[in-house]
Amino acid sequence: MSAKRRPNDKTLDKCEIHEKVLAYCIDDLTKSAAFNKEKVLVALKLEGVANAIYWDYIRRRIETGGIADEQGHKVKVSLLPVSTAVFKRKRTPHMSLNHMLAGPGGKCAGYALASINGGQIALASVGLRVSQVNGAAKATRDRAEIMADTLDSKIATSIRSVAGIAPPIASN
């Protein structure tokens, strides 16, 4: 089975279905600061072609094109991928924001403006991403140190250098 090839943005710009989806999403963002992908598909009666909708394209178009404010001026926006929890229930006080965050766009239930919830979801999203990056960097350094310990000194020094690990202190 071959991998599905994604159309380029110029092709999607000409797609009537994507234009309808884009318009509906912008309308939802303007009204409620979020849009639920499933709700969009149901409202537009596009459930049968759900897999043909490129949500990364929709997000990019909204973020690069902005949305209009009450006076019709374009406003730059940033969208956050959010989980189903954002659309199904209200957040209770002191509840963790992590249940509202979603992974990469393909796995999210929808998108919300970064300003939703006073920007707290955006802050939690950035904090989570920083933790993920820091964790991945630490895991990479740990793995590099293990590999360097098993190799000869010249390549071990190069591995440590690439991974940003200080060379071991020579013992007397």
Boundaries of every domain in the chain: 9-114, 115-172
pLDDT tens across 142-158, in order?
999 999 888 878 888 89
What is the predicted pLDDT for the residue at 35?
Answer: 92
What is the predicted pLDDT for the residue at 143?
Answer: 92
What is the predicted pLDDT for the residue at 42?
Answer: 96
What is the predicted pLDDT for the residue at 58?
Answer: 93
**pLDDT beyond 80 at 103:** no
Q: How far apart are CA 49 and CA 19, in angstroms?
A: 14
Report which of 75, 112, 107 is spatially closest to residue 97, judged by C-alpha positions. Answer: 112
**pLDDT beyond 60 at 2:** no
pTM of the model: 0.69
Q: How confident is the model over 121-125, as a mean pLDDT?
A: 76
Residue given tokens 């190799």 in the structure block = 151
Three-class SS of residue 3?
coil
Q: Would you say 125 and 101 are in contact if contact means Cβ atoms under 8 Å apart?
A: yes
- In this prediction, residue 66 has a pLDDT band, given cuts at 50, 70 and 90, of confident
| DSSP string for 124-139 | HHHHHHHHHHHHHHHH
Residue scoring higher pLDDT (90 or 138): 138
**pLDDT beyond 60 at 95:** no
- For the ranges 4-8, 101-105, 137-141, the maximum mean pLDDT occurs at 137-141
pLDDT tens across 11-45, in order?
888 999 999 999 999 999 888 888 999 999 999 99
**pLDDT beyond 90 at 47:** yes
What is the predicted pLDDT for the residue at 91?
Answer: 55
